[in-house]
Amino acid sequence: MIAPPPELQTPGAGDFAGHDLLEIAMGPHHPSTHGVFRMNVVLDGETVVKLTPVFGYLHRNHEKIAEKNSYLASIPYTDRLDYICSMTNNWAYVLSVEKLAGLAVPERAEYLRVIVGELTRLQNHACLAGFLLQDMGALGTPLMYAFREREKILDLFESLSGSRMMCNYMRFGGCRCDPPDGWLEQAVRVVAEFDSFLDHFEALLNENEILRARSQGVGVLPRGLAVNAGVTGPGLRASGVNYDIRKVDQYGIYNRFKFRVPLGQHGDVFDRYMMRILEMRESLGILGQALHDIPAGPIQDPKVKLRNLRPKPGEAYGRIESPKGELGFYLISDGGPAPYRYRVRPPSLINLTVLEDMCLGHTIADVVIILGSIDIVLGEVDR
Amino acid sequence: MNQELQNDLTRQGVVLTTIEELYNWGRKNSLWPLQFGLACCAIEMIAASMARFDMARFGAEVFRPSPRQADLMIVSGTITKKMAPQVVRLFNQMPEPKYVIAMGACAICGGPFRDGYNVLQGIDLYLPVDVYIPGCPPRPEALLEGLIHLQQKIARQRLTGPERPRHMEENVPGEYPVPQFGPHDLVGPRLRGARIPDANS
Amino acid sequence: MQTPEQIKDRILAAFPGAHLEVIPNGSPANPPSLLLDHGQAREIATFLRDDPQLRFDYASNVTGVDWPEKVVKEKVKVRKIIDGVEQEAAELVERKTPGFLEAVYHLYSMALGQGPLIIRLRTGNRTDSVVLPSLTPVWRSCEFQEREIFDLFGIAFDGHPDLRRILMWDNFADHPMRRDYVPAGDQEPKP
């Protein structure tokens, strides 16, 4: 491994005169940048000596639109942030509004939130494993298996909320509608099938020598840097830091479920991949408990005025453990029908802070895999 | 030619057709899309190419990463003003005959993000669109229906005469002007839509 | 978890003479925030990160907020001459509260599991005095978020390693998230 010269190790610094380097732009249209993301990579042969990410190709000014919309009208826009995980985006937003306005949620709604949140985590991690393997060269097969399971989960979402992807399901003070008859039984079946799918998936991939050779030791993220750079989610836990917001904040009713938080040792791409597999197993456990214990009852607090919610002036920051990391919403209310300031704390953008540090010294083929293991969705990075 | 006679001959193993039909049949059943996903609709596009919905049945399974090898651009997702020059450049790099499907509300007209300082209100401001697929996001079946509409459109194309497609005409360019970044907005000629002069330009 | 008042006392013990203010939060279930002065902001931030009882090692969220100047109408009692007699009368007077831009930091401690601590930095005004000290040298997670605030609000962060636009293109001239931003005039007319 060639270490880059010291003056090239900080972003924005360095003098390239006299070096025979090649600067290429990867993206925004690229098969493996997971969306419209651009990286200006400076190469010495095939080794990366500098990497500058360029954002903004999907900046849809969600925050400005939210300043004109009512609180309720912003919920469908949150679906479109991290467009693979719409339920958890909804949850983070309604959690922030509930903190701001001081609203309570009935118990059945909390269980439903946990169930759809963990189903979202399952399908997100399965897709991530599929996309990561596709970046490594397994063109299509793991992704096809992952999407097959994802379609079963999307069928559940569709019969629950009416839409496969942009579910718009949560409301302040509860959920929008009750599951139809037979939904819970079907969810139990999907969870059981997912378990055996994971067994096949792991048997197919975990011992695969190409996966191991390309991912072990690649893209190491040290603990101290991960904490200081604000990396959250599976990437942080793969570096060995035990910080899962479901255990720290215990939002919702997560304190009622028994689940473990897997931790990695090396912080390389293989650890981040294994983190997703292990977290899928833990999610299956939580789903089993939630589907067993869900009580009957109302799903929405009837005293909450959804349409003309005007929280008292103040501010609140609500955060959840989304599949990508810490997704937070910071809301400032001035007493009017629309928020004065609406800010999304995007886990994908902040996890990208360390992209350059992880890629320096590796080859350009590894850059693709490291980016894939961070798990970004451009709707969230650029909002 | 009489359709019954044609079917009779086909049963005997004799196929009669025209060059036009054959040419269009070959093109429409092997449209190679450009692997070009911008936002949420791209995930439904990927789902349409996966096992349940299977775009491979329609010949459009081979997504090409390079625009030089593609003949269909499915613009799936919001086009921002920062991305618009790249989209037009990619379209210019595709060889003729080429088609554009605008998938999703954002590609048609800006969608839910229309009131945005960085959102382009539809890709048809800069590129000629053949099929519009509404939805947010459109289901994979809707994308397949849009693809079938495009195939029917290609099948109907006459190769001679005044209605011939763009690539059969001599002096019609296949490339469109690329917008540039101005201090407040994109600048450059548009395909349609009157530009209201703003106070800042 | 220490309250912001206790943390303020701890900071004042370490930095006597620092200007700190606890800004109350309108919604009582949520914590108040600490307003820091520019002069020692980075040293105070380093203290917050390294002090063994605080250990705020994780800056979760950095937000920019635009507070334009407000015109407040007040009734003020003045002495006026009405009909030749000096009397006290009520008069409507307009007073302008100055506008400023603000950066809000949410800090958590991964080591001790406490948080959030909210600190605020405010600029002098919205036009020419828009420089704030950057906290990126203390917490690397502020790097992209401060660039975004520079891009969308116009606050220049002094000490940021790479301050340039992040979401809009480089020669874009406006700061779109300000409350008085008007988009360029060629939006298509709505039906």
pLDDT tens-digit series, residues A12-43: 434 555 568 888 888 788 887 788 899 999 99
Q: Does the pLDDT at position A323 exceed 90?
A: yes
Share of chain A above pLDDT 70, in %: 95
Chain B residues with CB under 8 Å of a chain C CB are 81-82, 117-118, 121, 181-185, 193, 195-201
Spatial separation of the C-alpha atoms in residues B190 and A201, rounded to whole Å: 50
Res. A45 pLDDT band, cuts 50 70 90: confident
Which are the contacts of B129, defined by CB distance < 8 A and separation ≥ 6? B75, B100, B101, B102, B123
Report how far residue C74's alpha carbon sits from residue A268's, in angstroms, rounded to the nearest whole number. Answer: 62
A349 occurs within a structural domain: yes
Cβ distance of B196 and C169 shorter than 8 Å: no
pLDDT on residue A9 = 47
| Exposure on the CB side of residue A125, measured as CA atoms within 13 A | 27
Judge whether C25 is closer than 8 Å to chain A, CB to CB: yes
A212 in a structural domain = yes
Is C168's CB within 8 Å of A341's CB?
Answer: no
pLDDT in tens, C134-150: 999 999 999 999 999 99
Candidate from C29, C63, C113 with C-beta closest to A330: C63
- How many structural domains does chain A have? 2
A196 shares its domain with A289: yes
Report pLDDT for B198.
41
Examine the domain organization and report whether A95 and A24 are in the same domain.
no
Q: Greater confidence, C40 or A91?
A: A91
C74 within a domain of the structure (yes/no): no
Residues 6+ away with beta carbon under 8 Å from A178: A299
A48 with A68, same domain? no
Mean pLDDT, chain B, rounded, equals 85
Same domain, A344 and A232: yes
**Cis? peptide before B189, omega within 30° of 0:** no
Minimal CA–CA distance to A324: which of A235, A253, A224?
A235
Chain B neighbours, 3+ Cβ pairs < 8 A: A, C
List Cα–Cα distances, C53 to A130, C41, C105, in angstroms: 43, 19, 19
Q: Count Cβ–Cβ pairs < 8 Å, chain A vs chain C.
A: 106
A222 and A298 share one domain: yes
% of chain C residues with pLDDT over 90: 17
Instruction: Based on the fold, state whether residues A159 and A124 are members of the same structural domain.
Output: yes
pLDDT at C184 over 80: no
Q: Inform me whether the pLDDT recorded for C6 exceeds 80.
A: yes
In chain B, pLDDT over 70 holds for what percent of residues? Answer: 95
Confidence at C1, pLDDT banded by 50, 70, 90: low
Q: Is the residue at A375 inside a domain?
A: yes
In terms of domains, do A122 and A15 share one? no
The pLDDT of residue B196 is above 50? no
* pTM of the complete model: 0.90
Same domain, A169 and A78: yes
Interchain CB contact of A243 with C (< 8 Å): yes
Q: Name which of C109, C140, C157, C166 to mutate to probe chain A: the one with the most chain A Cβ atoms within 10 A of its Cβ.
A: C140
A196-200, A330-334, A346-350, C79-83: the lowest-pLDDT one: C79-83
Lowest-pLDDT range, A186-195, A334-343, B18-27, B192-201? B192-201
Point out the least confidently predicted range of A84-98, C18-32, C86-100: C86-100
Mean pLDDT of A320-334: 92
Please state which CATH number belongs to domain B32-147: 3.40.50.12280
User: Is residue C99 less than 8 Å (CB to CB) from chain A?
Assistant: no
Q: Which of these, A84, A199, A83, A215, lies nearest to A138 by C-alpha position?
A: A215
C167: which chain A residues are within 8 Å (Cβ-Cβ)?
Answer: 55-56, 59, 382
Q: Do B117 and C184 touch (CB under 8 A)?
A: yes
Residue C171, chain A, CB below 8 Å: the answer is no
Contacts of C184 in chain B (CB under 8 A): 117, 184-185, 198, 200-201
Q: Is the pLDDT of residue B197 over 60?
A: no
Q: Is A357 helix (H, G, I), strand (E, B) or coil?
A: helix
pLDDT confidence band for C188 (50 / 70 / 90): low
CA–CA distance, A383 with A33 (Å, rounded to integer): 17
- Are the beta carbons of B80 and A151 separated by less than 8 Å? no
Which amino acid appears at position A217 of this protein?
A: G
* Nearest one of C166, C160, C100 to C136, comparing CA atoms: C160
Is residue C34 over pLDDT 80? yes
Q: Which two tokens stand for residue A40?
A: 């200006």
User: How many structural domains is chain C composed of?
Assistant: 1
Residues of A in contact with B40 (CB under 8 A): 80, 83, 165-166, 379
**Could you list the residue range(s) of the whole structural domain that residue A88 is in?**
63-382
| Among chain C residues, CA nearest to A383 | C167
| Contacts with A131 from chain B: Cβ below 8 Å | none
The answer, yes or no, to whether residue C77 has pLDDT greater than 80, is: no
Residues in B touching C168 (Cβ below 8 Å): 82, 118
In a domain, A1, yes or no: no
- Judged by CB atoms closer than 8 Å, whether chains meet at C143 and A343 is answered as no
For chain B, the distance separating the N- and C-terminal CA atoms, rounded to the nearest angstrom, is 61
Which pLDDT band holds residue B103 (cuts at 50, 70, 90)? very high
Q: What would the two tokens of residue A141 be?
A: 């097969």
Query: Taking the mean position of all CA atoms in its chain, how far away is CA A377?
Result: 8
The 10 Å Cβ neighbour count of residue A172 is 24
Same domain? A218 vs A297: yes
Mind telling me how many Å the CA of C89 is from chain A's nearest CA?
33
pLDDT at B200: 40
A277 touches chain B (CB under 8 A): no
User: Residue B68: pLDDT band by 50, 70, 90 thresholds?
Assistant: very high
Residue A195, domain member (yes or no) = yes
Residue C122 belongs to a domain with what CATH number? Answer: 3.30.460.80
Name which of A38, A341, A351, A356 to mutate to probe chain C: the one with the most chain C Cβ atoms within 10 A of its Cβ.
A341
Q: Are A78 and A343 in contact (CB under 8 A)?
A: no
**What does the pLDDT look like over C88-97, one tens digit per residue?**
777 777 878 8
- For A138-142, A221-225, A324-328, which range has the lowest pLDDT when averaged over its residues? A138-142
Is A269 a domain residue? yes
Say whether both A27 and A124 belong to one domain. Answer: no
ipTM exceeding 0.95, yes/no:
no
Q: B35 CA to chain A: closest CA distance, Å?
A: 7
Q: Hey, are the CB atoms on C183 and B117 less than 8 Å from each other? A: yes
Query: Is B50 in Cβ contact with A143 (below 8 Å)?
Result: yes
Query: What are the residues facing A317 on neighbouring strands?
Result: A330
Mean pLDDT of B29-47: 88
| Res A249 pLDDT > 80 | yes
Does residue A138 sit at the C interface (CB-CB below 8 Å)? no
**Range of C12's domain?**
4-68+99-158
In angstroms, the separation between the Cα of residue A59 and the nearest Cα of chain C is 6
Tell me: do A69 and A203 sit in the same domain.
yes
The pLDDT assigned to A97 comes to: 92
8 A C-beta contact, residue B100 and residue B108: no
Domain ranges within chain B, ordered by starting residue: 32-147
Q: Do C184 and B184 touch (CB under 8 A)?
A: yes
Using a CB-CB cut-off of 8 Å, the residues of chain A touching C26 are: 312-315, 333
The distance between the two most distant Cα atoms of chain C, rounded to a whole number of Å, is 74
All chains having 3 or more CB pairs closer than 8 angstroms to chain A: B, C
B90 lies within 8 A of chain A by CB: yes
Residue A271 and residue A171 share a domain: yes
- Report the interhelical angle of A86-101 vs A107-136 (nearest 10°): 140
Nearest CB to B82: which of A35, A56, A64?
A56
| Nearest C-alpha neighbor of A30 from the set A349, A382, A380, A364 | A364
Minimal Cβ distance to C110: which of A227, A333, A350: A227
Cβ within 8 Å of A, C 41-80: 57-61, 63, 65
What one-character-per-residue DSSP string does B59-106 give? Answer: T----BSSGGG-SEEEEESPPBTTTHHHHHHHHHHSPSS-EEEEESHH
Q: What pLDDT score does A156 carry? A: 92
pLDDT band (50, 70, 90) for residue A113: very high
